[in-house]
Amino acid sequence: MHHSSTDFNLSVALRLSWIEDFILWIFYIPMVLMGFHPLVVLLSLEIVGLYQVWIHTQKIGHLGILEEFLNTPSLHRVHHGTNPQYIDKNYGAILCIWDKLFGTYQPEREKVVYGLTKNIRTQNPIKINVIEYLRIWSDIKQSRNLKEVWNSILGSSISKPHQAELSDID
């Protein structure tokens, strides 16, 4: 949902999945069970969310030394890119040190092409919210063994052709 826009501006920061809201809480419960106060967890989520708004812009260029440790508009543009060298890069929400540690750091070197590796060409919010789940389901149905099922759910599908298209949900 969030990456489906072929434009990149502040409104993309608000283009979030409705479906994920029903799932994400599962990842925060263990934090509370480990002893983090629920208010701290919620406040942290809000801080990250607010930080993410300003980096969704093409109006701000490179920010020099800040790009060595903070996620900046330039680094986040790369994260939204479909250029081969930009795919699966710059995951850090606020700090980019994690990307440097895990080898996913990529500075912006050329013009970014936005959208998905296979764009969906619709503005229908319902279709935009469910198309990736339909694509995953299609991949699962085509799987020949458990390893392929696992990769369909959690692995990369960049090189895999998807059978589920928008016509499947009309």
Q: For residue 131, give the DSSP letter.
A: H
3-class SS at 33? helix
3-class SS at 142? helix
Q: What is the per-residue pLDDT across 35-60, written as a single tens digit (0 to 9) for each?
A: 999 999 999 999 999 999 999 999 99
Neighbours of 94 (CB within 10 A): 14
Distances (CA, A) of 102 to 43, 96, 145, 156: 26, 10, 29, 17
In this prediction, what percent of the chain has a pLDDT beyond 70?
Answer: 91
Average pLDDT, the chain: 87
Report which residue type is found at 32: V
**64: which 2 tokens?**
């020099």
Question: How would DSSP label each residue in 84-128?
Answer: GGGTT----SSBSHHHHHHT------SPPPBS-SS------HHHH
Beta bridge partners of 69: none
Q: What is the per-residue pLDDT across 72-119, written as a single tens digit (0 to 9) for each?
A: 999 999 999 999 999 999 999 999 999 999 999 999 999 999 988 888
Mean pLDDT for 117-144 is 89
Q: 26: part of which helix (H) or strand (E)?
A: helix 25-33
Neighbours of 161 (CB within 10 A): 10
Residue 72 · residue 66 · CB < 8 Å: yes
**22: which 2 tokens?**
């029903």
2, 80, 43, 19 alpha-carbon torsion, rounded to 10°: 20
Residue 75 · residue 67 · CB < 8 Å: yes
Beta bridge partners of 81: 114
The pLDDT value recorded for residue 156 is 61
